[in-house]
Amino acid sequence: MINVRSRLRPAAVQPYSRRMLNPRRLEILRAVLAAGSINQAARNLSYSPATISQHMTALARETGLVLFEKQGRGIVATDDARHLADQAQALLADFGRLERVVADLRAGHGQHLAVACFASAAEQWMPAVVRAVRELQPNLTVEISLNEPVDGRGRRLPDLDVRTEPAGGTEVHLEGTSGTS
């Protein structure tokens, strides 16, 4: 059964395992929250509800958190579960990129170039730049991301960072940066 908070057993008593978190279980947690139920997540993922439940129980044990609480005949996600799922989003995106890197390395396409740029450069300049670079290095994987401030998460450091400079040479300070470029 899923790790559900009981009125008789406080959350602090939940067992906790210091093993590394399983990224697949984090994906399943996100699927359960997106679907709104274990049964719907099971249908969406082509798993049995029992398998989803086992994964959620194991994730609760790995984290030491109560992820769901009973509500009527069903369960509802706790704030901890929602926060964990939100924080896992960037990690899972990075993990997906890592899996693509492994696939590229296996296929002999191990060269990678990460470029960060502002939106208009990504739209206007980068297609021609990527075509020219790929003519020289056909196996090169190019990753383009925006460097404009959004939330600052989920992007690896670029190999090349294209930025605009103000007309008067005035230095621009972005929140969360040291001011040096």
Q: What is the CATH number of the domain that holds 30?
A: 1.10.10.10
Q: What is the pLDDT of residue 181?
A: 43
pLDDT digits (tens, 9 = 90+) for 128-173: 988 998 888 887 878 888 876 555 554 567 777 777 766 565 555 5
Is the pLDDT assigned to residue 1 strictly greater than 70? no
Q: Is 179 helix (H, G, I), strand (E, B) or coil?
A: coil
Burial 24-59 (b: 16+ CB within 10 A, else e): ebbbbbbbbbebeebeebbeebebeeeebbbbbbbb
Residues 53, 56, 58, 61, CA torsion sign: negative
Domain count, the chain: 2
Looking at residue 147, the DSSP 8-state letter turns out to be -
More confident residue, 80 or 116: 80
Please check whether residue 66 is in contact with residue 42, taking contact to mean a CB–CB distance below 8 angstroms.
Answer: no
Distance CA 41, CA 52 (A): 8
The pLDDT assigned to 178 comes to 47
Full domain range(s) for residue 35: 4-87
24 domain residue, yes or no:
yes
Query: Which pTM value belongs to this model?
Result: 0.56
